[in-house]
């Protein structure tokens, strides 16, 4: 019996040793797994934090770029508004010139635009009544004087001489075809200036059109003057 007990005790002892060894090995594996998991978790956490930082940096950069773009858009819109006001003011000044200067300016424009000397001039309803006839007369006289020979001053100084001078110019207008501009019965809805009609051809010399065309050509130069730093 004693021998069996010794054998049984030995088996139990060996089994316990094996159990202890397995337990220790298991504990080591568990610790290794835990350490590896903690390391991996920390690494993933670091990666998440880094991605978050990068994403935040990229978003900040996008917001900054968008802010700068919006600022430039607002500055450009403000400059365009100021430019528009500048050219609107120019149009207002043209339309509100004193009558004598207004007639002189319109006459100059008519002379520059006329090619046949036989065109019709269309004004706004207001200008047709106030200055239309005077512009037509002044432009016709200038066109005729450009072609008719000038009489000596000593001739035109007297009333009879002045009458002769007018007759000479009237005859020249008929012969040469120059100085035969007419005032149209028609009117147009324009701020100032005129529309010159020659048959089917119209030349738009309305002030708003001229200012718009000048703006297209001069806007950069005006902007440089207005916004120079």
What's the DSSP call for residue 179? Answer: S
CB neighbours of 164 closer than 8 A, spacing ≥ 6? 151, 155, 156
> Tens place of pLDDT for every residue, the chain, 229 residues?
566 666 666 666 766 776 777 677 777 776 776 677 667 757 776 777 677 777 777 777 787 777 777 777 776 676 677 767 888 888 999 999 999 999 999 999 999 999 989 999 999 999 999 999 999 999 999 998 875 445 456 544 555 444 444 444 444 444 445 568 999 999 999 999 999 999 999 999 999 999 999 888 877 776 677 667 5
**Closest C-alpha among 135, 68, 124 to residue 101:** 135
Determine the Cα angle at 163 with ends 161 and 168, to 5°: 95
CA angle 182, 188, 193 (to 5 degrees): 70
Q: Write out the two tokens for 150.
A: 């000038």
Q: What is the CATH number of domain 98-226?
A: 3.30.2320
Residue 189: closest CA among 172, 174, 168, 204? 204
Report the DSSP beta bridge partners of residue 120.
Answer: 182, 197
Element (H or E) spanning 177, and its range? none
**CA–CA separation, 177 and 167 (whole Å):** 15
């Amino acid at each position: 019996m004693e021998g069996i007990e010794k054998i049984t005790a030995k088996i139990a002892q060996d089994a316990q040793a094996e159990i202890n060894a397995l337990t220790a090995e298991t504990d080591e594996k568990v610790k290794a797994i835990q350490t590896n998991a903690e390391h991996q978790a920390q690494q993933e956490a670091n990666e998440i934090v880094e991605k978050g930082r990068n994403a935040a940096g990229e978003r900040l950069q996008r917001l900054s770029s968008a802010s700068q773009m919006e600022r430039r858009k607002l500055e450009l819109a403000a400059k365009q508004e100021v430019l528009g006001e500048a050219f609107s003011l120019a149009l207002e000044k043209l339309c509100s010139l004193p009558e004598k200067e207004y007639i002189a300016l319109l006459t100059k424009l008519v002379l520059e635009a006329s090619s046949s000397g036989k065109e019709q001039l269309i004004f706004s309803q207001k200008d047709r009544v106030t200055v239309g006839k005077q512009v037509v007369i002044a432009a016709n006289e200038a066109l005729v004087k450009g072609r008719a020979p000038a009489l000596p001053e000593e001739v035109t100084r007297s009333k009879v001489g002045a009458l002769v001078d007018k007759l000479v110019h009237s005859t020249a207008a008929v012969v040469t075809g120059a100085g035969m501009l007419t005032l149209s019965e028609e009117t147009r809805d324009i701020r100032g200036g005129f529309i010159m009609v020659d048959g089917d051809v119209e030349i738009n010399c309305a002030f708003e059109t001229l200012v718009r065309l000048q703006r297209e050509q001069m806007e950069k130069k005006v902007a440089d003057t207005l916004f120079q730093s």
